[in-house]
Chains A and B, each alone.
Chain A
Amino acid sequence: MKVLMLGWEYPPHISGGLGTACAGLTAALAEKGVDIHFVVPKVIGDEVTPHMAFTDALGSASDVAKTADNESVKTEVTRLPAFLNPYWNQKQFAAAVASSQVRSSRLSSKIGVPEVDAVSQALEDGEVYGVSPFGDSNECNQTDRHNLARGLFSEVERFTSDILARFSSEDFDLIHAHDWMTFPAAVALSHTTGRPMIAHVHSLEHDRSGLFYDREIDAIERFGLRSATKVVAVSHYTKRSIERNHLISGDRVEVVHNGVYPRQVISDYRQRKTWPQHIVLFLGRVTFQKGPDYFIEVASKVIPHVRDILFVLAGSGDMLPEVQEQARALSIDQHFLFPGFVQGDELEELFSVADLYVMPSVSEPFGIAALEAISFNTPTILSKQSGVSEVIQHALKVDFWDTDRMADLIINSLAHPELRQELIENARLELSKLHWGAAADSMLAVYREVLSAQAREALSGASCY
């Protein structure tokens, strides 16, 4: 079985659950013997992805994995330079353009080394953009910005035509597309090649932006979901949202819960520095969907009752300045740490030292970070408005708006180590069932169903829709 997957990587500076989910699912499917050609919009820079290798070939890399039966399975990765982040709306796209150092570049023979080209030449040629936030030049070229200011949808369009150009004649059995930015490309490719398409929903515009949702993005989502042969949702919570917001019938939507990589907690970070006695952690994008403002409000209710406490709000996002100001206005900023976006060792340290991980999401399709917290032996407090609360019973659960109750849960968790102990011992047992292998099995079942339906239709000559 060969799958063309249009997904997202886990670059160090553009991140979220989506990239982690794609990486985990791809690796697990590869182990089950599925040939995957994995296409990602890539911002050229210093990414590290352990299971996908870089090569010197132009535009493509491939990784040879081994299945459980020791057969060789090829996972090919193509990185298409594109200034896209799956969590952006138009405003955030424009802001990212304005704040980043944009240089146009021609793809060189070696990925990762952008050649600085004459700006006007590159723009006239309609070359793809590469962005290097760690670039040595501080200039942000006006013309570049102007072009990118054509907007997010233009970039998506260009990404779509790139994909069509490259993959229309490639051989694969089905197309698996993750979230809205890949849907136009997937649908177009499906029409061109006649292959079925699976729309995988990790997040909806309604979750990300609530009342102020972008109607164009919403429309593109609906277009993708309606055109897909099958829709996959990361939780029953998300499935219900899909049915409600996009009027998709429930029997067209399968639920495949995300998994998590098992982890060995090796070092004891607590001993290394002087940490306060109690540490409560929020880790995620600092944006509306994640409820960071509720986190601040809850902290203000907890702090008067607990000595020597630190609230860590780790992450970056459009609401960061606002919540920092909120903490100052409530006079609790001295109990807060805002380390910004964290990864690698720093991420590990925060998860390890935290007494509690709080996920006050307003609307969370899944919430992989909660599973990560558990794998670091940190008990969790989860918004009931989240997909992950479907799969973990041994967590404290609360409505995101109920800040009194959330404060009650935090205070009691900090006061009673036996509560934390029971939560984490039992949550870890639950976690052992939530590995990517299980998700890959469910995904394979969906693939088989889609392919056999396709075969039946081909035999009977009936149309797809």
Chain B
Amino acid sequence: MPSVCLYFQVHQPYRLRPFSFFEAGRSSNYFDKRLNSEIISRVAKKCYQPTGQSLLRAIRKHPGRFNLSFSISGTAIEQMRAWAPEALDTFRDLAATGQVELLAETYYHSLVSLTEDTAEFHKQVRDHIDLMACEFGITPRVFRNTELIYSDSIATKISELGLQGIFVEGIPEILGARTPHAVYRNYGDTLSLLPRNAELSDLLGFKLRNGGPNNSALKPDDFVRRIKEVAKSDDTIFIALDFETFGEHHQGDVGIVNFIEQAADLLLADSDWSFVTPSQAIASASSRDELSFPTVRSWADEARDITPWRGNEMQKAALKRLYSDEFRSLCDEDLWRYLQTSDHFYYMSNKGGPDGEVHSYFRPYESPYDAFICYMNVLRGASAVSLLQQPRSLA
């Protein structure tokens, strides 16, 4: 019986305001409260709430057969509490249906898994697991690392937390001839790996406007047809993307917000098919081959590696400073964690081409160089020994 496993990412960073060199040590007003509140209110209104409602309808229409999963970062939850509480209510309603699984990630959507500091990595994941239990009454069993960053050595750190599975990018060179539509085991056999189908996921993520026949807009029936074309009898197709796709990245008519609901209606008309949660997929998986990721990969940029965040010399220098013992000893601990969010480094990427366009879409500064300078000024301020240190306020 073929199935689709849906996973939606919900994340917002605390973006930094254009912090000047001359403010360092004098002001601790690091975060752009106005911009961050504007963005989350807007995204909640255009995407989280209406799409969430659409998914709730789908869940009620197809009891037991329409299941899905979310991962909601700690920084997103905090900002929703402050500026978009109705969106948080929608997510609570979804969690309460019993047909929505919540995944674990690092609380701050951070790159700490790339460092040697396993203790800090564990702390950030445990904080997130506690948050899920507190907000939604659900304890996550499956993990997704920031931007699906994954390697064999990262798996080891995750296994130590008692989690049973993890989403990874379905990299063609790594899969080789093997099907992407199955659950695998990691190198070391401690976790189940759920490989994201990049082609179908990106069809939704990037090509809603022109992914249909003859570059027309992608319609739910095109999408369902594509899924059926690739699936064999016992396949599970893993579709993972940014939840903001529906209503924020792609705006306009109601068709976009209801896309998944309509696709579900069409697909579930065929009684063979179902939508499963990651845990359900793991439970029902039969044979599990090993899939090894010797180098670190991710779901971002064409290279699907860590160059979106640690590709150029500026990013490397910023990360080195952030995770240095010296900086850590001088910086307030909470602030240090908020500065770890991967987006800060994503904004510093100066790649060109299509990758560059995506980076530039998300970047709230005029250039990656401005992003770097702003970040380094903040690090300078955060580690300044000054009589004027005030508690920083994010919200």
**A: which residues have CB within 8 A of B?**
305, 393-394, 396-397, 404-405, 407-409, 411-412, 415-416, 418-419, 421-423, 426
B206 within 8 A of A: no
Are the CB atoms of B369 and A396 closer together than 8 Å?
yes
Flag whether B367 is at the interface (Cβ < 8 A): yes
Tell whether, in the assembled complex, residue B21 and residue A418 are in contact, meaning their CB atoms are under 8 Å apart: no
B314 touches A393 (CB 8 A): no
**Segment with Cβ contacts to A, from B88-96, B144-152, B217-225, B372-380:** B372-380
Q: Does B312 have its Cβ within 8 Å of any Cβ on chain A? A: yes
From A407, A409, A418, B313 is in contact (CB under 8 Å) with: A418
CA of A77 to CA of B64, assembled, Å: 87
Q: Are A426 and B377 in contact (CB under 8 A)?
A: no
* Set A397, A409, A415, A422: member contacting B314, Cβ < 8 A: A422
Distance (whole angstroms) from the CB of B288 to the closest CB of chain A = 43
Asked, given contacts A397-B366, A408-B377, whether A419 binds B22 with beta carbons under 8 Å apart, the answer is no
* Cross-chain pair count, CB within 8 angstroms: 48
CA distance A421 to B314 in the complex (A): 9
Most buried by A among B21, B313, B366: B21
Chain B residues with CB under 8 A of A396: 367, 369-370
| Interchain nearest-CB distance for B353 vs A (Å) | 12
**Residues in chain B near residue A411, CB distance under 8 A:** 21
- Known A396-B367, A416-B376; 9 more pairs at CB < 8 Å: A396-B370, A409-B373, A412-B373, A415-B376, A416-B372, A418-B316, A418-B317, A419-B372, A426-B350
One of B20, B21, B22, B369 near A423 (C-beta < 8 A): B369
Give A434 to B370 CA distance when docked, in angstroms.
24
Interface string of B297-333 (1 = CB under 8 A from A): 0000000000000001110110000000000000000
Q: Is the CB of B21 within 8 A of A412?
A: yes
Residue in A closest to B312 when the chains form the complex, CB atoms: A422
> Which chain A residue has the least Cβ–Cβ distance from B23?
A408
In the complex, what residues of B have CB within 8 A of residue A407's CB? 21-22
Q: Is the CB of B312 within 8 A of A408?
A: no
A-contacting residues, B1-36, CB 8 Å: 20-22
Complexed CA–CA distance, A74 and B230 (Å): 66
Q: A404 touching B20 by the CB < 8 A rule?
A: yes
Which residues of A are found within 8 Å of B373, using beta-carbon distances? 408-409, 412, 419
1/0 per residue, CB under 8 A from A, across B153-195: the answer is: 0000000000000000000000000000000000000000000
What residues of B have a CB within 8 angstroms of the CB of A409 in the complex? 373
The complex places the Cα of A405 from the Cα of B370 at a distance, in Å, of 11
Bound Cα distance A80, B120 (Å): 76
Of chain B, the residue at the smallest CB distance from A408 is: B21
- List the B residue with the shortest CB-CB distance to A393: B367
B376 contacts which of A305, A404, A405, A412 (Cβ < 8 Å)? A412
A426 to B316, CA, bound (A): 17
Q: Which 5 A-B pairs have the closest CB atoms?
A: A418-B313, A408-B21, A418-B317, A412-B373, A418-B314
Contact status A422-B377, CB under 8 Å: no
Of all chain A residues, which has the CB nearest B370?
Answer: A396
Contact A405 B20 (CB under 8 A): yes
Chain B residues in 8 Å Cβ range of A404 = 20, 22
On chain A, the residues within 8 Å of B350 by CB distance are 394, 422, 426
User: Are B21 and A419 interface neighbours, CB within 8 A?
Assistant: no
| A/B interface sample: 14 pairs, CB < 8 A | A396-B367, A396-B369, A404-B22, A408-B21, A412-B376, A416-B376, A419-B314, A419-B372, A419-B373, A421-B313, A422-B313, A422-B350, A423-B369, A426-B350
- Cα–Cα distance between A58 and B388 once the two chains are bound (Å): 76
Interface size class of B (residues with CB under 8 A): 10 to 19
Contact A419 B369 (CB under 8 A): yes
Q: Looking at A394, A404, A405, A422, which has the most chain B CB atoms within 10 Å of its CB?
A: A422
Closest-CB distance, A451 to chain B (whole angstroms): 37
Residue of B with least CB distance to A412:
B373
Set of chain B residues within 8 Å of A405, measured between Cβ atoms: 20
Complex: A411 Cα to B377 Cα, angstroms: 10
Return A239 CB to nearest CB of chain B, in Å: 22
Cα A153 to Cα B317 in complex, Å, equals 58
Asked whether A422 and B369 contact (CB < 8 A) given A412-B377, A416-B376, the answer is yes
Q: Which residues of A contact B367 (CB under 8 A)?
A: 393, 396-397
Q: Output the least CB separation between B373 and chain A (Å).
A: 5
Residues of A within 8 A of B22 (CB): 404, 407-408
Whole-angstrom distance between the Cβ of A276 and the nearest chain B Cβ: 20
Interface 1/0 per residue, B346-380 and A, CB below 8 Å: 00001000000000000000110110110011000
Give bound CA distance, A393 to B352, whole Å. Answer: 10
Pick the most buried of A396, A407, A408, A415: most chain B CB atoms within 10 A of its CB. Answer: A408
> Shortest beta-carbon distance, A448 to chain B, in Å?
32
Chain B nearest Cβ from A302, distance in angstroms = 10
A394 to B372, CA, bound (A): 13
Q: In the assembled complex, which residues on chain B have CB atoms less than 8 Å from the CB atom of A426?
A: 350
CA distance A341 to B350 in the complex (A): 36
Which B residues are in CB contact (< 8 Å) with A394?
350, 369
With a cutoff of 8 Å between Cβ atoms, the chain B residues found around residue A423 in the complex are: 369
Contacts of B21 in A (CB 8 A): 305, 407-408, 411-412
**Chain B residues with Cβ under 8 A from A397's Cβ?**
366-367
Which residue on chain A has the smallest CB distance to residue B20?
A: A408
Shortest distance between the CB of B140 and any CB in chain A (Å):
37
Closest B residue to A396 by CB, please name it.
B369
C-alpha gap A416/B395 in the complex (Å): 31
- How far, in whole Å, are A418 and B313 apart by their CA atoms in the complex? 5
In the complex, what distance in Å separates the CA atom of A412 from the CA atom of B369?
10
Name the distance in Å between A175's Cβ and chain B's nearest Cβ: 40
A394 to B349, CA, bound (A): 12
Q: How far is the CB of A342 from chain B (nearest CB, A)?
A: 28
- Minimum CB–CB distance from B41 to chain A (whole Å) comes to 29
Specify which chain A residues have a CB less than 8 angstroms from the CB of B20 in the assembled complex: 404-405, 408
| A405 to B22 Cα, complex, angstroms | 9
Q: Which residue of A lies closest to B320 (CB)?
A: A418
Q: Distance (Å) between the CB of A313 and the closest chain B CB? A: 23
| Bound CA span A405–B369, Å | 13
Q: How far is the CA of A458 from the CA of B148 in the complex (A)?
A: 68
Bound: A409/B377 CA distance, A: 11
The interface centre, meaning the residue of B20, B22, B369, B377 with most chain A CB atoms within 10 A of its CB, is B369
Give Cα A124–Cα B306 distance, bound, in whole angstroms: 79
Query: Within 8 Å CB of B314, what residues of A?
Result: 416, 418-419, 422
A410 to chain B: closest residue by CB: B21
The smallest beta-carbon distance between A464 and chain B, in angstroms, is 44
Residues of B within 8 A of A305 (CB): 21
> Within the complex, what minimum Cβ distance (angstroms) separates A360 from chain B?
17
Chain A residue contacts of B377, Cβ below 8 A: 408, 412
Which chain A residues border B313 with CB–CB below 8 Å?
418, 421-422
Q: How far is the CA of A272 from the CA of B370 in the complex (A)?
A: 34
A407 CB, nearest partner CB in chain B, Å: 7
